[in-house]
Amino acid sequence: MRSLNIEKVKLDIQEWIKNYISSAKADGVVIGLSGGIDSSVVASLCVRALGKEKVLGVSLPCESNPQDFEDAKLIANQLGIEIIKIDITPLFNEFKDSIISSLEVTKFNIINIREDMWSDNILALANVKPRLRMTTLYYIGQSLGLYLIAGTGNRTEIAIGYFTKYGDGAVDFELMGDLYKCEVRELAKHLNIPEKIIKKPPSAGLWKGQTDEDEIGISYDILDEIIYRIDNNLDMNDLNEENVFKVKNMMRSSFHKKTLPPIFKIT
* pLDDT tens by residue, 61-75: 999 999 999 999 999
pLDDT score for 146 = 94
Instruction: State how many domains the chain has.
Output: 1
Mean pLDDT of 168-195: 98
Among residues 157, 189, 179, 214, the alpha carbon closest in space to that of 1 is found at: 179
Mean pLDDT of 169-184: 97
CA distances from 136 to 12, 39, 129, 133, 158 (A): 30, 16, 11, 5, 22
Residue 220 lies inside a defined structural domain of this protein:
no
- Confidence label for 77 from pLDDT (cuts 50, 70 and 90): very high
pLDDT score for 116 = 44
In CATH, what number is assigned to the domain containing residue 205? 3.40.50.620
**Residue 194 or residue 108, greater confidence:** 194
Please tell me what DSSP assigns to residue 53: G
Residues sharing a CB contact under 8 Å with residue 162, sequence separation 6 or more, in sequence order: 156, 212, 216, 250, 254
Please tell me what DSSP assigns to residue 211: -
pLDDT score for 115 = 47
Residue 77 lies inside a defined structural domain of this protein:
yes
* pLDDT of 112 strictly over 60: no
* pLDDT tens by residue, 145-166: 999 999 999 999 999 999 999 9
Residue 234 lies inside a defined structural domain of this protein:
no
> 153: how many CB neighbours lie within 10 A of its CB?
20
Mean pLDDT of 12-36: 98
Q: Which domain holds residue 114?
A: 6-214
- Confidence label for 176 from pLDDT (cuts 50, 70 and 90): very high
Residue 147 lies inside a defined structural domain of this protein:
yes
Mean pLDDT of the chain: 92
Residues sharing a CB contact under 8 Å with residue 225, sequence separation 6 or more, in sequence order: 1, 239
- Confidence label for 206 from pLDDT (cuts 50, 70 and 90): confident
Determine the distance from the C-alpha atom of residue 242 to the mean position of all C-alpha atoms in its chain, rounded to a whole number.
26
Residue 244 lies inside a defined structural domain of this protein:
no
Looking at the chain, the whole-number percentage of residues with pLDDT higher than 90 is 83
- Confidence label for 187 from pLDDT (cuts 50, 70 and 90): very high
pTM to 2 decimal places: 0.92
* pLDDT of 172 strictly over 70: yes
Q: For the chain, how far is it from start to end, CA to CA, in angstroms?
A: 45
* pLDDT tens by residue, 125-146: 899 999 999 999 999 999 999 9
Residue 229 lies inside a defined structural domain of this protein:
no
pLDDT score for 105 = 59
Residue 172 lies inside a defined structural domain of this protein:
yes
Residue 225 lies inside a defined structural domain of this protein:
no
Distance CA 195, CA 153 (A): 20
CA-derived radius of gyration, the chain: 19
State residue 56 phi and psi, 5-degree precision.
-120, 125
